[in-house]
Amino acid sequence: MDKPKHLDLHEFCDMKQLYTLLDNWSKSTGMSAVIVDNEGNRTSESFGMTEFCRMIHDNEKGSAICNSTWKTNNSGIFFCPIGFCDFSVPIELPDGQVLGQVLAGQALSEEQNTDEILQKATELGINKRTVKDVLSRVHKKSDKEMHGAYELLREMMNFFIENNYSIWKTNNELKKAPAQKDRVLSQITQIMYSYNLTIDVVSGSYSLIKGTGMERTVEEYTKHSNLSELSEFHERILHPSYAARFNELISCETALQNPAENGFRGTLEYPVIYPNDDEYEWHEINVFIDTDDNGRRIINILGRDITDSHNAQEKREKELRAAADKNQILSELTKMLYSYNLTLNLRTGKYSMIIGTGMTQFMEIFKSTDDYETAYNKKIKYLDPQHVSQFEALASLASLRARKNANGFIGSLEYGAITDYGEEWHEINVFVSTDEDGEPVANILGRDVTEAHEQQEKKERELRASAARDQLLSSVTKMLYSYKKSGLRSSTPRTELSAWICLKRRMRAITT
């Protein structure tokens, strides 16, 4: 078959399902997606457009810059002119023809410094405070989340396009070679599908070609010969939420009411559960309206079991959501309890951070680089010299690498620091583990404990003063009663008075 000329997505794709797929992908990853043609013209709505990008698009200059990017041939993961991470997935047919691309992303990585983005946005004439405010609400993504979202979108689009195109192409081939129709349909069904049901629109009677899989459904279909006889079976196994769309796709009545309807009607993935089963299976139907060689209006339903591929995709989406939820929880905890949560790759020496509140001097250092040795050498200059050796033993890159095989909590330290903002007390808690990619990492959680440290010092001073008072009272008491026991009662008044005067002076000195 020759390559189709100027083929359009709408000619062979179920666009409603495609839009639903992109919308679900956007919601599960927190990223945006839009379809553009080969000239860079948008051909779909923007799914999940971020607040920041909406602000840029509302600006005349910003919109022109972004639209120009759509007309380039970017592929894979790249950065947009403003500085956000984007990626492009080509809409490519199995024969190599490219119909356009899905542009997606609008995300910030955890390692990105937003100063350059702030500068570029303000150069467009957007208020700097507004840009800062919007940027502060952007949730950053890890490299793993970025690549995972890209791979999921690429695989999802490739599968969807290839599936829709192969069905469309098969249908065209059958129209060109009607004499070979039954043989071709049988071969295709056996290779790709569990069954092919051909239904007479007027009578509802059908014929069945068997493939592989969905044995219980196929067995039920062989017991009957009319679509109306299958309604009870479908109602029994179909998940109720999908029943309306399923019945809409296989409806003969709709085809009768619309004689002009022809070609691909639609596709549906749906869950079913058979009696005595505990888990759902996932099935798919692809429905076509056609006219056979005898002039009869017919419906072709191609069905297959997609449980394995559906579960694999669902697992991947759950992993992406779990990673996003984990980062969100860590971010919220850090903001509530700590000044920062630093994740250090012990192999590369690079780090990413979640920033909370406090420790202003050190936050400025951490934001200025992503190289741990550089940040460490800047920070160590502000530490109280008597704590430097302890800090080095716990938190230097060399010490952490020496303990890369440890798992879990490895130590905590309170240390003094003299910063441009005054004398402070800080605390770090250090953990070592392995991340999802098998890389050795250290997590360092830091916070300002100046207030708590000063309160503890005050409490210890009060305890020492109380102990000194008790000791003095004990000594004076022993002295006074030793006079009485020695029988020198006639001379004690003056002696006792002197002792009490001395006691008062000592007590005043202790309390002040």
For residue 333 the two structure tokens come to: 């905890």
Pairing of strands 98-107, 297-305: unpaired
pLDDT of residue 11: 84
What CA–CA distance (Å, rounded) separates 164 from 62? 36
What CA–CA distance (Å, rounded) separates 312 from 319? 11
What CA–CA distance (Å, rounded) separates 23 from 88? 16
Q: What confidence tens digit (pLDDT) does each residue in 386-434 have?
A: 999 999 999 999 999 999 988 888 999 999 998 888 889 999 999 999 8
Q: Let me know: does 263 contact 287? Beta carbons within 8 Å.
A: no
What is the C-alpha radius of gyration for the chain, rounded to an integer number of angstroms? 37
Q: Let me know: does 171 contact 288? Beta carbons within 8 Å.
A: yes
pLDDT of residue 435: 85
pLDDT of residue 145: 87
3-class SS string, 182-240: HHHHHHHHHHHCCEEEEEECCCCEEEEEECCCCHHHHHHHHCCCEHHHHHHHHHHHECH
Nearest to 194 by CA among 312, 282, 265: 282
What CA–CA distance (Å, rounded) separates 195 from 218? 7
Structural domains of the chain ordered from first start: 9-159 (3.30.450), 177-305 (3.30.450.20), 338-448 (3.30.450.20), 457-511 (no CATH)
Q: Is the Cα torsion angle 383, 389, 390, 391 positive or negative in sign?
A: positive
C-alpha torsion angle, residues 350, 356, 362, 367 (rounded to 10): 50
Q: Is 432 helix (H, G, I), strand (E, B) or coil?
A: strand
DSSP annotation of 40 reads S
What CA–CA distance (Å, rounded) separates 33 from 46? 6
What CA–CA distance (Å, rounded) separates 4 from 98? 11
Low-confidence ranges of the chain (pLDDT < 50): 1-4, 179, 488-492
**Helices and strands in the chain, H and E counts:** 19, 14
Residue type at position 261: E
This prediction has a pTM of: 0.44
pLDDT of residue 471: 77
pLDDT of residue 490: 44
pLDDT of residue 183: 55
